[in-house]
Structure 1
Amino acid sequence: MKFTKALLLSLALSSAANAAGPFGLEMGMSLKDIGGEAKQIAPGKYSVSSVPKPHSLFDTYIVQVAPDVGLCYIKAIGKDISTSTYGVELKSSFYNLQGKLEKAYGSSKVTDMLLSGSIWNEPNDWMMGLIKKERYLFAIWDAESKATLKNNLAAIAMAAKPSSKSAGYLAVDYSFTNEEQCNSAIAAMEDDAL
């Protein structure tokens, strides 16, 4: 049976779209397997124009891919969420997404803290605390949180981030079990340039 280029491309895209990992991506995929236009933003890190299974909350995807190791990390960056200085809408979006991720990956550990000594300690200072990096709201899924990670995932982290006093976004990081190997391969590539 002869395979045309179009048929092979269709099979490859279908395979990527059926991948079981986050956004249709799996550990070890090459940039070519991931698809979309890739723009290098740092050694081994690429912003990709699309993923096989996009989610409407996110508009930017960053992947880390090393030669001979493949995909080891995904960062999904959310769209801006308009919010009050109290951060109500951003916090609501955070806990809504946390619930969805807990359905998929089990329990997480949430940290919502204001650093000791911060002057941004009034309720209406919530967003300014984020901007000044004196307040943090994040959740971690890993062995310690007793998460039920699958598809070769080692950890997931989600954080609320500020864009301004009246807007913020959510970012979710997915680390695969090959991330350390990936980081070593990228560091070795960088060292070869010296």
Structure 2
Amino acid sequence: MKKIAVLILGLLLFSSFLYAGPFGLSNGMTLEEVTEACNGEIPKRIAQDDRYFIIPSKSHSTFTTYIAWISEDYGLYHIRAISDKIHTNNYGKELQNAFYSFEPRIENTYGKGSIFDGITDSNTIWDQDKYWFNALSDGARDLYAEWYPKQGQKVIKDDLTYIRLWVSNADYENGILLLDYEFVNHKQVEAQEDDVL
């Protein structure tokens, strides 16, 4: 009987990794489970909070840096993937191309998102197309796509409540592409933090 229980437990653990979410990671994974999903590579803590640098075994060639938010009480609740620097001109064409060529890949898995591409500060001096990258660097322009659960649903898929693909400047001539996944247990972590206020 004990052998059967161990076998069932093993199958349940295997199936949880089989149906893992982005980069082979799932909602609520413990630090030990994330380590296992990273080929035994122990996550490196970034600061005295929940953030860790990880190297997932299921990585994507677009991204070179991965950060996982892992709560001691609630496990993995957020993932961020960051690309290498993308050299771009003032028009930001290379960065825009990286965004618009990658966005359909997210759509293929999670459905249609909503895209915002425009000026966010009407008083900016960088409102012309030839200053696209200047406006982004100055915080006067955004380019992102977001996914939320459909009306009447609590999650998008894979226990995810929010996905965001976005661009940012890395320095005065390079941008980066970022991809965020937020799991359903993120709300529990927020509630726990709010309890101390």
Percent of pairs with identical residues = 33
SS of the residue 2:170 aligns to: strand
Aligned partner (choices 20, 23, 42) of residue 37 of structure 1: 42
SS of the residue 2:125 aligns to: coil
Q: How does 1:134-145 map to 2 (within 5 A)?
A: 134-143=140-149
Is 1:20 aligned to 2:26, yes or no? Answer: no
Alpha-carbon distance in 2 for matches of 1:58, 1:112 = 22
> What per-residue deviation string (whole Å, max 9, x for no partner) do you get for residues 33-82 of structure 1?
11133232345422323113111111111111112311111111111111
Compute the displacement of 1:186 (Å).
5.0
Q: How does 1:106-185 map to 2 (within 5 A)?
A: 106-114=111-119, 115-143=121-149, 149-185=156-192
Task: Report if the CA contact (8 A) 1:28-1:70 is conserved.
Answer: yes
Query: Structure 1 residues 153 and 74, CA, compared in 2 at 3 Å: closer, same or farther?
Result: same
Is 1:105 aligned to 2:110, yes or no? Answer: yes
Alpha-carbon distance in 2 for matches of 1:43, 1:106 = 36
SS of the residue 1:71 aligns to: strand
Amino acid corresponding to residue 96 of structure 2 in structure 1:
K
Compute the displacement of 1:123 (Å).
1.5
Aligned partner (choices 91, 99, 124) of residue 96 of structure 2: 91
Aligned partner (choices 28, 52, 58) of residue 53 of structure 1: 58
Alpha-carbon distance in 1 for matches of 2:167, 2:16 = 29
Where does the alignment leave 5 or more consecutive residues of structure 1 unmatched?
1-10
Amino acid corresponding to residue 70 of structure 2 in structure 1:
V
Query: Structure 1 residues 145 and 170, CA, compared in 2 at 3 Å: closer, same or farther?
Result: farther
Query: Structure 1 residues 186 and 135, CA, compared in 2 at 3 Å: closer, same or farther?
Result: same
> What per-residue deviation string (whole Å, max 9, x for no partner) do you get for residues 122-143 of structure 1?
2121111111101100110113
> What per-residue deviation string (whole Å, max 9, x for no partner) do you get for residues 70-112 of structure 1?
1111111111111111010100110111110000100110011
Alpha-carbon distance in 2 for matches of 1:145, 1:82 = 39
Compute the displacement of 1:15 (Å).
7.3
Task: Report if the CA contact (8 A) 2:90-2:133 is conserved.
Answer: yes
Alpha-carbon distance in 2 for matches of 1:163, 1:68 = 33
Where does the alignment leave 5 or more consecutive residues of structure 2 unmatched?
1-10, 36-40
Q: CA RMSD in A?
A: 2.7
State the TM-score, normalized to the length of structure 2: 0.80
Aligned partner (choices 77, 83, 88) of residue 78 of structure 1: 83
State the TM-score, normalized to the length of structure 1: 0.82
